[in-house]
Structure 1
Amino acid sequence: MADLIDRHFPASMDPAIVAEIDSRLADVARRHHVSIPLAVESGSRAWGFPSPDSDYDCRFVFVRAASETFTLFPERDVIEMPLTSILDVNGWELSKALKLLLKGNVVVVEWLTSPLTYQCDTTFREAFAKLADQVADRALTGRHYYHLAANHLERFLATPERVPLKKLFYALRPLMALKWLDENPNSAIAPMNFPTLCAGVTLEPAVVGAIDELMARKAETRELGEGEIPAPIRAFLAAEYPRAQTWRDGAEARRPGSERLLDDFWREWSHRLAPSN
């Protein structure tokens, strides 16, 4: 199955933990009798703003054997490994990933675009990314990112002088994704990596400088603590958040033929990737 991508993780990623993730993925494949065509890092490390103590969030897509897929009594469509203080490994069955893609869940799209890959069938990933471009709903993508941002911003803007600075990035990233969508009207998918997002939109130099400084601090310390939102970032949030509210109630506008495309993809890749019985 595997045409594996060469992995080029940053030096900040602990080789022992990466090896443990590899071992866990192999264990999942063996014990659950599945193939894993895609396994990526999905948290702050892949988003581009890790701290020295950031945990590892491995997410994967899996395919079961045909006899376990085409059955009236299917197994659960999620596989979860035991959590540790530093490691979180779990995955979705391909069918679940495809259904959530159709509903506007951006998570699976972010897995497809993660820059940190543990293992990957490159043909599968390219085909899945092409499918996502064909069926992803721009309005639903925007709504997803809006609510991610709003969960934090309502609170942060109410008390901007006392904000958990580490969590500020969890509001900035989805808000920047919305700005990226605004400036790229022909796309329904925004990059998951925060520095890539920032580089792809129009920002005032002062905002870029403040973000870069905060990212540098986050990369060097385990705890940024609470503090005042830097003035350029506060001005950016105050201006962009009201504009972003146009995405709040994005109505589904499913592209014609999406269900058929997803069904065809599921049938083809379930057959191609299924482990032998």
Structure 2
Amino acid sequence: MNEIIQDKLIEIEEAYQIKILYAVESGSRAWGFPSKDSDYDVRFIYIHQPQWYLSIDPQGIGAKRDVIEMPINDLLDISGWEITKALRLFRKSNPPLLEWMRSNILYFQQYSFIDNLRSLESEVFYPNASLYHYLNMAKNNYREYLRGPEVKIKKYFYVLRPVLACKWIEERKTVPPIDFHELLQIMVPEGELRTEIDRLLERKIIGDELDIEPRIKVINEYVESEMIRLEAYIKTLTVEIDDPTNKLDDLFRNTLKEVWG
């Protein structure tokens, strides 16, 4: 599959006359709990040639789209963000972008862009944005899948992961790991809750069919109480950061020069 993805990325570069700077796996494979039928969610950041930027029409308007999306099939979902879109989202601590930057499944990387971007992360990270993102994700998935006496049991991971990400941010004030195993090991101590989560995770990874089953009381009680507590905590949090726009402008210009000369 890696070879197919590499070929697709080359096709995209040629078709759109761009350079891909960074491409990784996103979604459940990157999070560490894929199902046996999980597709591949490839995400990338790219840069156009200089003349694309030297225009009276701004990026993202009309024909100047700032995303590239390939047709989705049952096996592969591939899309990318143009560099200035990515930098604007980075300025807002966009959690999906921050997760891409932490993915352990790397498909492609060239030039110094992503390393330079990572070097700015501690200056730019705004915990409020990530906390709201992950808490809303947890609440929405809980409301959708886990409220009844019988639940879509594999969806526990789509509530647990954002809850644990919030707890990481609360305690460490840094971007949380993308890997669920790391979050679980550090944020959940040994005990009944950890045992139930480990058992469920093992079943999912070995390919057990995890469909509708009775709810797991200890996990439900944990995520319910944590979501209430985290919602109250977020309302008390005030964080200010310096405007990073000038540094991000410099990174964009330097990358444009590095790539195209």
TM-score by length of 2: 0.90
Question: Separation in 2 of the partners of 1:98 and 1:184?
Answer: 24
Question: Separation in 2 of the partners of 1:147 and 1:52?
Answer: 27
Alpha-carbon spacing, 1:165–1:158, altered in 2? closer, same or farther (3 Å): closer
Residue 105 of structure 1 aligns with which residue? 94
1:234 offset after TM fit, Å? 2.1
Question: Separation in 1 of the partners of 2:257 and 2:147?
Answer: 52
1:153 maps to which of 142, 146, 149: 142
Residue 125 of structure 2 aligns with which residue? 136
SS at match of 1:224: coil
Question: Separation in 2 of the partners of 1:88 and 1:21?
Answer: 10
Alpha-carbon spacing, 1:83–1:261, altered in 2? closer, same or farther (3 Å): same
Residue 53 of structure 1 aligns with which residue? 37
Does residue 1:168 correspond to 2:152, yes or no? no
Question: Separation in 2 of the partners of 1:132 and 1:180?
Answer: 16
Paired residue type of 1:151: N
Identity of aligned residues (%): 32
1:250 offset after TM fit, Å? 8.2
| Structure 1 residues 182-238: Cα deviation after superposition (integer angstroms, max 9, x where no partner) | 2213x2x11111111112224342222211211111122364101123233223213
Using CA pairs below 8 Å that are at least 6 residues apart, which structure has the higher relative contact order? 1
Which runs of 5 or more structure 2 residues have no equivalent in the other structure?
none
Paired residue type of 2:95: V
Alpha-carbon spacing, 1:123–1:209, altered in 2? closer, same or farther (3 Å): farther
Residue 68 of structure 1 aligns with which residue? 52
Question: Separation in 2 of the partners of 1:38 and 1:213?
Answer: 35
Alpha-carbon spacing, 1:156–1:248, altered in 2? closer, same or farther (3 Å): farther
Alpha-carbon spacing, 1:251–1:99, altered in 2? closer, same or farther (3 Å): farther
2:85 maps to which of 85, 89, 96: 96
CA contact (8 A) 2:35 2:207 kept: yes
1:121 offset after TM fit, Å? 2.8
Which runs of 5 or more structure 1 residues have no equivalent in the other structure?
1-16
Runs of 4+ that moved beyond 4 A: 247-254
| Structure 1 residues 139-186: Cα deviation after superposition (integer angstroms, max 9, x where no partner) | 111111111111112345532x2111122211111111011112213x
1:78 maps to which of 64, 67, 92: 67
Residue 215 of structure 1 aligns with which residue? 201
Paired residue type of 1:51: S
Residue 3 of structure 1 aligns with which residue? none
TM-score by length of 1: 0.85
Residues paired across the two proteins, number: 256
1:253 offset after TM fit, Å? 4.8
SS at match of 2:187: coil
